[in-house]
Amino acid sequence: MSAYSILIHPDKRLRQEAATITTFDEALRNTIADMFETMYAAKGIGLAATQVNIHQRLTVMDVPQMPPQEAHSQSEESADEENSSEIAAASDKLVLINPEIIDSSQELAEYEEGCLSLPGQYAGVWRPAQIRVRYQDEYGERQEREASGLLAVCIQHEIDHLHGRLFIDHLSRMKRERIEKKLAKSIKEAQTRD
């Protein structure tokens, strides 16, 4: 069992803006550990605090390092079970506190994204192909990092959560509504099975 329950769309709490973190203490580090536990239990590669009803500017991620053509076919927050040992061996484990994108490329890339808050739903989303992000680590130290490929997608996706946005907000109304209907149907089917 994971440390936290993940909020599922259309839960209104997913739309809340997250607050800046100012205290970097053992309680925060425990929250981070619990978020990683929750993310791994859900077989995800990224999780924002907003998704577990903690409205602070905090994300965790463990992004597989793979060639661009393979990364392109992976869903943003869904780690393939058979690749889990490879991911553990070659991944980019990150904690981003108070993150902000300070630069992004004009070039866009499309990746098939999914989300632990929209289980089983995926869609192609266009985002800047390269970014530079400024953030603090779990001790409050300021950091900057450049990212491209799946890591850039994951960072942008998780930062969106901190602003109350979901990947479906980047889609056309028709595509968004289709995903929302499919999600509602799958939730209803799961409830009738239980």
> Which of the 8 DSSP states describes residue 166?
-
157 is in an annotated binding site: yes
Count of helix runs (H) and strand runs (E) in the chain: 5, 7
- β-sheet bridge partners, residue 135: 143
Please identify every residue annotated as catalytic. 158
CA dist 160 and 136 (Å) reads: 17
Burial of 107 (0-12, 13-18, 19+ CB in 10 A): exposed
- The CA R_g of the chain, rounded to the nearest whole Å, is 16
For residue 104, give both structure tokens: 């992004």
| Both structure tokens of 45 | 């590669």
Q: Is 138 helix (H, G, I), strand (E, B) or coil?
A: coil
**Overall size of the chain counted in residues:** 194
Residue 93: both structure tokens together: 């484990």
75 Cβ neighbours under 8 A, 6+ residues apart: 112, 113, 114, 122
Extract the annotated binding site for Fe cation.
115, 157, 161
